[in-house]
Amino acid sequence: MEVDWAGSTAFIIDRDTGEKAKAYIFVATLPCSQLSYAEASLSMNLSAWITAHNHAYSYFGGSTQIVIPDNLKAGVTKHTLRELVLNPTYREMADHYGTVVMPARVGAPKDKPSVEGSVGVISTWIIAALRNTHCFSIEELNREVRGKLEEFNHRSFTRKQGCRFSAFEEEEKFALSPLPEIPYKMSEWRTAKVRPDYHVSVESMFYSVPYEYINRQVEVRLSENLVEIYFNHMRIASHKRLYGKFGQLATTHDHMPDNHKLYVDQTPENAKEWAGSIGGNTLKVIHYLLDSSQTEKLALQSIFSLKKTERRYSKYEIERACKMIISMTARPTVKGIQTLLANNKKNDAELELKRKAESTNNHYGFMRGAAYYGGADTNE
């Protein structure tokens, strides 16, 4: 399938102002039968380019093994004698339809003569024929284009029997590959750097990736409903695309570092569950903090500080400190528990040193008297 934009343009009329807006004509041609497809668009950007390909495949009823476009920016990023780089979205569309994109050489229109010829004919047959037709929307214009296109494809050949459509049915249709069940959905590729908060910013929305990729350069694939993030061609995260108010976050729990998970997981229920795993006295302290604090948020912040002590102290030490503070005051505080934990740790260490010293002194050997070495014995 050879594809291109026609050099001539059509137009639609703005109902409010009466001004004419340009409409660009996409043309796709199958080189054997010369069957063509045409569609008007208000833009020649990537979205219009991909949409027109989808519609062309649907019109032909199958996909071709090869697509030959020109070297327009929407499809080809770089094309030299040594290197060909396709736009990622265009390449992905080709993969979806099982086709290969082989751009024409730069400045070599003979690489796609069928579409070059069809562009000239369609420019006359469709665009020129519609120059006096007033359309007020792109949908209305495309209905007119489709009507002229059907006339064009069913017009009899001058030098042989049949028409483009009959030639396609007889000679070319069998060679097309079946279309996928679902048409290709437009996607867009971007690059982004993972922020220190392990999120990437896409159109003022924020999507998380595993925190190990902080400060890494990643590729982001945007589709209508999905955001996928890739590193070295491997997908590391995917999120439902966010719309609406700027600044929204899509954060996956597994992407967080452990200390962030600990903070985010703070709820009264989780706090009580944790305290119950430590002991009854710890649970009493947690109940007091939740009941006596001015706001639940302040209580959870205090409990979070207490939970962090589990990194340095055992469950036994935390439970013992909570038991001690309950016996000392009716208003236990996390700071008081932290002080007791530190003091208990210090006292335990001193007691252990003292015990070891006493144990060393008690383990002595047999002592020999002075007489054994030839000296005088004071007892004699």
What is the reported pLDDT for 371? 59
What is the reported pLDDT for 264? 67
What is the reported pLDDT for 262? 66
Residue ranges, the chain, pLDDT below 50 = 380
The radius of gyration of the chain's CA atoms, rounded to the nearest angstrom, is 39
Q: Which CATH architecture does the domain made up of 2-175 adopt? A: 2-Layer Sandwich (3.30)
∠ CA 254-260-264, rounded to 5°: 85
pLDDT tens digits, residue range 112-146? Answer: 566 566 667 777 778 888 888 888 999 999 999 99
Where do the structural domains in the chain lie, given as residue ranges? 2-175, 187-256, 266-357
SS (H, E, C) the chain: CEEEEEEEEEEEECCCCCCEEEEEEEEEECCCCCCEEEEEECCCCHHHHHHHHHHHHHHHCCECCEEECCCCCCCEEEECCCCEEECHHHHHHHHHHCCEECCCCCCCHHHCHHHHHHHHHHHHHHHHCCCCCCCCCHHHHHHHHHHHHHHHHHCECCCCCCEHHHHHHHHHHHHCECCCCCCCCCEEEEEEECCCCCEEEECCEEEECCHHHCCCEEEEEEECCEEEEEECCEEEEEEECCCCCCCCEECCHHHCCHHHHHHHCCCHHHHHHHHHHHCHHHHHHHHHHHHHCCCHHHHHHHHHHHHHHHHCCCHHHHHHHHHHHHHHCCCCCHHHHHHHHHHHHHHHHHHHHHHHHHHHHHCCCCCCCHHHHCCCCCCC
Query: Which two tokens mark 272?
Result: 């009580």
What is the reported pLDDT for 200? 95
Parallel/antiparallel/unpaired status of strands 66-67 and 100-101: parallel
Instruction: Give this prediction's pTM.
Output: 0.57
What is the reported pLDDT for 250? 92
